Structure 1
Amino acid sequence: MEPPVPTGHISDMQKITAECMYAAFWPPAATKTLEVVDDGLIDFDGSDDPKFVVTLLYSLCTMGTTWASTIYNSELLQVQDQFHVGNEVALLGMALYLAGNAFGPLLWAPMSEAYGRKPSVLIPIFGLMVFSFASAVAKDLQTLLISRFLGGVFGGAPLSNVGGVLADIWPPTQRGAALLLWGMAVIVGPLLAPVVGGALVVRLPYTGWRWTGYLTGIMLAAILIASVLWIDESFPPVLLARKANKIRLEAKNWAIHSKSQETATSFKEMLRKYSIVPLEMLIDPIAFFINLYAAFLVGSIPFLAMVVGVLFAAAINFWGQAYYRKRFIANGNKIVPEARLVPMITGSFFFSAGLFIMGWIAENYIHWIGFCVGGACVGLGFFTIFQSAVNYLVDTYLMLEASALAANMFMRSILAAAFSLFARALFSNLGLDWGMSLLGFIAVAMIPIPFLFYIFGKRIRAVGKRSKQSFVP
């Protein structure tokens, strides 16, 4: 039961409550202030706006985690030779990292909603750095595999939590562009890492695989130092709780509190809210089908050449952001999650077509440009679908977006981990043509997903157990 508020302090309490609701405590070293824009969204104010720097640093954190994922592929042959194991066993290093990516966000996403974005990203980045060095000095296979799995657990944090950061600091009409920068970081990491790792392995034929771990750890250390120095907390409930705590101590009025501090803090309630909610997102209708579509795409990434397509996809996503802005204004400056799905609708056709093209044009007598066209279509389709999925989940679940993205990451990583183990058997038994066609048929079956949510998404959001908590009519 709350202690009674003295009558003489009613006006002061109202003033303090307003201050807590429309401002947030900022560390003394920072000169930025906060204001509320777009229906209560807390935003940075002032000429020294740090949003771009914060977005860039968090994007680099994400790039570091995806880099750590695929750089391992370049060391497979050396790992097999040094530890005398077959290809399937060596591939466990990749599969276990992805499995760690699946389960890690279920821990780090709730942490971000309980303690803030900054610790829930930077502490895991530190853990990934430690286990990158641990894998580099591994003396036996089991140490390498355990280090890879634990590295994946820590590395999953930026993939689920950075979307929440961008939702905190960017208004809806600008958030799509910010998420696009972050999405590019997600793609750049796994594309560059095998190239750099391959160069290290070639130049250092006996120890190159260890230097892939050293290089990853060094890169993460540099990103971590910069992030600690220039990133501040952004999660409004945590900032408001800090502000309320500060004012409560200064005023010595123990009734002062923020809205988030009214929530029950028993162990049972914390377990339910911060552990069960991400799991519940797996069966929430919107999260399940959008995550399923994204999971299928990510599982196919290692086998697709898509750099050119990603560049075209970026242009489509920018156009999609302009379309969203028009819908946002037309809706009375209220979010319209379904407007985020237009790029996904476009990309779904390119993705399916690209898979079939790559499968049936990969013959020696057919010019290589055909295969590249297929790869570009797949890249375009993948990136538009991935970005639309992230944007749609963030708009739909708002303050629960970290948990929604954790569920997204869980499904994507589980499928990617499994796919990395059976992909060779799939293409060996079916051939590249029918193996890619099988993926193409699955992609075709998923094309209706964005159409259905574009048409019926508003009604589904209004009745979903979690989506209705953030429902905007």
Structure 2
Amino acid sequence: MNMDIESKAAVEETLIDFDGSDDPYNPLNWPMKRKLVVTLLYSLCTLGTMFNSSVYNSGIIQIEHQFGIGTEAALLGLSLYLLGMGFGPILWAPMSEAYGRKPAVLIPISGLMLFTFATATAKDLQTIFITRFFAGMFGSAPLTNVGGVLADIWPASQRGAAMLTWGLGVMTGPMIAPIVGGALVVNLPQTGWRWTEYTTGIIIAVSLILSVIFIDESYPPVLLARKASKIRFETQNWAIRSKSQEAGTSIPEMARKYLIVPVEMFIDPICFFINLYGAFVYAIVYLTLAVLPVEFQQVRGWNELVGSLPFLSIIVGTLFAAGVLFWGQIHYVKVMKANEGKPVAEARLLPMMIGSFFFPAGLFIMAWTSDRDVHWIGFCFGLLLLGLGFFTIFQSAVSYLVDTYLMLAASALAANMFMRSVLAAAFPLIAKSLFGNLGLDWGLSLLAFISLAMIPIPFLFHLYGKRIRAVGKRSKVSFIP
């Protein structure tokens, strides 16, 4: 017995961990200024990725004329980018565990920059489509890993506000891009579409340089592995190691976590329905990239720049949603305190419950104010409600998944990203058939009716989510009573 106790003590002495809860080396204990810089720079990287996803659409007409193709073929540049974003997590999520968050975001961002410039210089359609797909794959890195960064450096009571900052980059990027792209296309009628890509590449390059200089590694297992390696060489005690070095990051383990587990997540009731709802509203936002040119350029006769300004309505709606989400964070903290400081995942759903009504309301208003004889302000008000509904639903879905699955959150978010990327890639391609056959009024109404049918989802999980989490195959692994 004494031998066992001595052996256990010897093992613990060689196992490196943080020096108590106040260790400044622990990312949770970083100074506030350092946390804010990391959060803002990663949000800027995310904004660049999302900006790139939609800026391409501003030059669709020029691409059609230059290469002699139809709208559906030209839209493949958007869809392939979004599809690439669905496959990226397979690479970047394991990379973050093996090498840390910083290289797993910034190395792919370098690839995104290179493929963006490659699209700008493309001489044929094949090159455009190939480079757009790989740009999306590389650009998915911040969407895959920044959520983990925020979990590394912010405690649960503050994480909602940090997620909100990052989420604004996710949302505003694709909405600002058409306005910038429209200005370039109007002023450069022959080469404007190329300059949408050049401009995006420059934005990404600036964010990359700043991030390389000012961002520090935040993944605790990697930090502890570095600490253990340093002590090992200084003391010449080769038994010293960290828990992550003890566990290892084998290829079979990575494959299980980022391929098999995310697939299994699709049949987990919480993950499936929350992902389905989040993916649907995400895809609708990308469908508006195809709807707005029809409404404001074809129906109302505005030019590319003026016709892109209504995207500002969605951004305004996003800002209102930020207020709802911030209030939701205050509510979440109160519930957590009442639960003896333990997180309550269902408390994340209150903003989603509110947004679930605004989202279909926005679609219905857009549908029935799309006629040329109706003042354009009505359609823009619908866009505002759409933005408010989308951002509250999307952010609540991500936060709820993180709180529900905790250590399996990366797998849940990988499933989330794949589902929403596939839907977002498909929706713009069906836009012409949908609205060509039904018109904007009934086409948008159809989508509104589908979103109405999804309203019960957050309410059901708010009522029964705790019980479902306790018995779910994957959620019970991280269940906190």
TM-score normalised by L of structure 1:
0.91
Residue number in structure 2 paired with 1:320: 328
**Secondary structure at the residue paired with 1:361?**
coil
Change in CA separation of 1:343 and 1:265 when aligned onto 2, cut-off 3 Å: closer
**Secondary structure at the residue paired with 1:43?**
helix
Residue number in structure 2 paired with 1:440: 448
Residue number in structure 2 paired with 1:412: 420
CA distance in structure 1 between the partners assigned to 2:4 and 2:206 by the alignment: 50
| Residue identity opposite 2:440 in structure 1 | L
Q: Where in structure 2 are the equivalents of 1:42-441 lying within 5 Å?
A: 42-46=27-31, 49-263=33-247, 265-302=249-286, 303=288, 305-441=313-449
CA distance in structure 2 between the partners assigned to 1:259 and 1:472 by the alignment: 23
Change in CA separation of 1:269 and 1:379 when aligned onto 2, cut-off 3 Å: closer
Change in CA separation of 1:44 and 1:124 when aligned onto 2, cut-off 3 Å: same
| Residue identity opposite 1:459 in structure 2 | R
- Deviation at residue 21 of structure 1 after TM alignment: 7.0
Change in CA separation of 1:456 and 1:260 when aligned onto 2, cut-off 3 Å: farther
- Deviation at residue 264 of structure 1 after TM alignment: 5.4
- Deviation at residue 236 of structure 1 after TM alignment: 1.6
- One of 440, 456, 478 as aligned partner of 1:470: 478
Correspondence 1:34 to 2:25:
yes
CA distances 1:2-39 after superposition (whole Å, capped 9, x unpaired): xx9995x9767545647447489xxxxxxx9234xxxx
| Residue identity opposite 1:441 in structure 2 | F
Change in CA separation of 1:121 and 1:23 when aligned onto 2, cut-off 3 Å: farther
TM-score normalised by L of structure 2:
0.89
Q: How many residues align?
A: 455
Change in CA separation of 1:22 and 1:116 when aligned onto 2, cut-off 3 Å: farther
CA distance in structure 2 between the partners assigned to 1:34 and 1:20 by the alignment: 7
| Residue identity opposite 1:44 in structure 2 | N
CA distance in structure 2 between the partners assigned to 1:348 and 1:451 by the alignment: 10
**Secondary structure at the residue paired with 1:347?**
helix
Aligned partners of 2:112 and 2:138 also within 8 Å: yes
CA distance in structure 2 between the partners assigned to 1:147 and 1:45 by the alignment: 38
- Deviation at residue 400 of structure 1 after TM alignment: 3.0
- Deviation at residue 124 of structure 1 after TM alignment: 1.0
CA distance in structure 2 between the partners assigned to 1:353 and 1:44 by the alignment: 43
CA distances 1:381-424 after superposition (whole Å, capped 9, x unpaired): 11100110111112122233233222111111100110010112
Q: Cα RMSD between the aligned structures?
A: 2.2
**Secondary structure at the residue paired with 2:25?**
strand
Answer with 390-399 or 118-127: which moved more.
Answer: 390-399
- Deviation at residue 114 of structure 1 after TM alignment: 3.0
Answer with 109-118 or 196-205: which moved more.
Answer: 109-118
| Residue identity opposite 2:210 in structure 1 | A
Q: Which runs of 5+ in 2 are unaligned?
A: 293-312
Aligned partners of 1:125 and 1:224 also within 8 Å: yes
Residue number in structure 2 paired with 1:29: none
Identity %: 64
- Deviation at residue 315 of structure 1 after TM alignment: 0.8
